[in-house]
Amino acid sequence: MSTASAARREIPEATVARLPLYLRALRSLGARGVEVISSEALSEAAGVRSTGLRKDLSHLGSYGVRGVGYDVGRLSEEISRELGLHHDWSVAIIGMGNLGHALAAYGGFATRGFSVRWLVDEDPAVIGTEIAGLQVIDFADLAKQAPESIIAVLATPPHAAQQAADQAVALGVRSILNFAPCVITVPDGVEVRKVDLATELQILAFHEQRGRDGELSSRHFVSKDSGSARSIGATKERRTSWGEAP
C-alpha cells in the first residue's frame, strides 16, 4: 500500500502533540463554514504562533497555497490521516470508579475518532452493571471480546494501576493513557501517556505563589505547556447553558 515515495518522514514529538489542536480548530472552523484560512488565523484559533504552525505543517508536506492560505477540508483530512484517525480506535476503560464512570459517559471521545467499547473492573459488585449503555466486564471477558488493537485508559486507584497495566499489556494493548497518579512500568513497544490532575494543580499553584510574591516585578505568566494563554483575540463565541460535560 505504501509507495516508494512514502519514505517515512520523521515528525518531531512537539509537532505531533500539536496536530490534534490544529485538527480541533479546523473542524470547528469547517463547521462554521470557513473554507480557507491563513496560518495567522488558524494559529490564533489553535492557541499557538503562526510561525510555529507553518513549521509544524511543513513536516506533513505542502498543503497550503502561497498568498492564499490553507483549504480547511483538505488540511483536516491530511492531519486526520497523519494521526491515524481514518479508522476508528476502540478504547477500553479500566477501573470504574468516579473517574472511569465519567470517562465512560464523556461525549468528547466519539466525535474525535474513538469508540469506548469496553468497561472493565475487577469488583464483582460492579461487573455486570451497566454504565453509559455498556456492561462492565472483567479482564477475562475483555480477553475474549477484544482481539483487535485497542487503547487502554487506566482509571484505577494507584495501588492497582501496575497490575491493571500488566493485564492490559498481556492482552496486546500497546497504548495506555494513565490517569492513576503513579508510575507504571511497561515493556518496550508499549507507549504510556499520563494525565495527573493534582500535578496540574500543583504547577498552577507554583506559578500563582510566585506571581503574588513577585507582583511588583510584573512578570507575565505565559506557560510553556498550556500555550493557550499565549494567544490573544481568539474566537469569542459565547452564550448558552453548560449543564453537560465538555
Bind-site residues for NAD(+): 95-100
Which region, judged by CB under 8 A, interacts with a copy of itself, from 34-42, 49-57, 62-70, 150-158? Answer: 150-158
Nearer to a copy of itself, 145 or 228 (CB): 228
Q: Which is nearer to DNA, 15 or 156 (CB)?
A: 15
Using the rule CB under 8 A, give the single segment among 30-38, 43-51, 53-61, 68-76 that binds a copy of itself.
43-51
* Dist CA 118 CA 147 (whole Å): 12
39 binds, among DNA, a copy of itself, none (CB under 5 to 8 A by kind): DNA
Q: What are phi and psi of 177, to 5 degrees?
A: -105, 115
CB of 220 to DNA, least distance (A): 12
**Residue 33: which of a copy of itself, DNA, none does it interact with, CB under 5 to 8 A by kind?**
none
> Which DSSP symbol is given to 87?
S
Does the footprint of a copy of itself cover residue 214 (CB under 8 A)? yes
Separation of alpha carbons 241 and 219, rounded Å:
35
Q: Which does 103 bind (CB under 5 to 8 A by kind): a copy of itself, DNA, none?
A: a copy of itself
Residue 246 lies near a copy of itself (rule: CB under 8 A): yes
- Give residue for cell 464512570: 101
Binding partner at 115 among DNA, a copy of itself, none, C-beta below 5 to 8 Å by kind: none
Count the site residues for a copy of itself by CB under 8 A.
Answer: 122
User: CA-CA distances (angstroms) from residue 38 to 25, 151, 179, 187?
Assistant: 13, 34, 36, 43
From the list a copy of itself, DNA, none, partner contacted by residue 205 (C-beta under 5 to 8 A by kind): a copy of itself
Which residues on neighbouring strands pair with residue 90, listed in sequence order? Answer: 115, 150
Provide the 8-state DSSP code for 60: T
Distance in angstroms (rounded) separating the CA atoms of residues 101 and 204: 26
**Binding a copy of itself by CB under 8 A: which of 126, 137, 142, 168?**
126
Q: How many CB atoms lie within 10 A of CB 230?
A: 16
Task: Specify the length of the chain in residues.
Answer: 246
**DSSP percent split of the chain into helix, strand, coil, nearest 5:** 40, 15, 45
Contacts for 209 with CB less than 8 Å, ≥ 6 apart: none
N- to C-terminal Cα distance for the chain? 38
**Interaction between residue 16 and a copy of itself (CB under 8 A):** yes
By CB under 8 A, which span of 31-39, 55-63, 66-74, 220-228 interacts with a copy of itself?
220-228
| Binding residue for a copy of itself, selected from 26, 137, 168, 180, defined by CB under 8 A | 180
CB of 58 to a copy of itself, least distance (A): 17
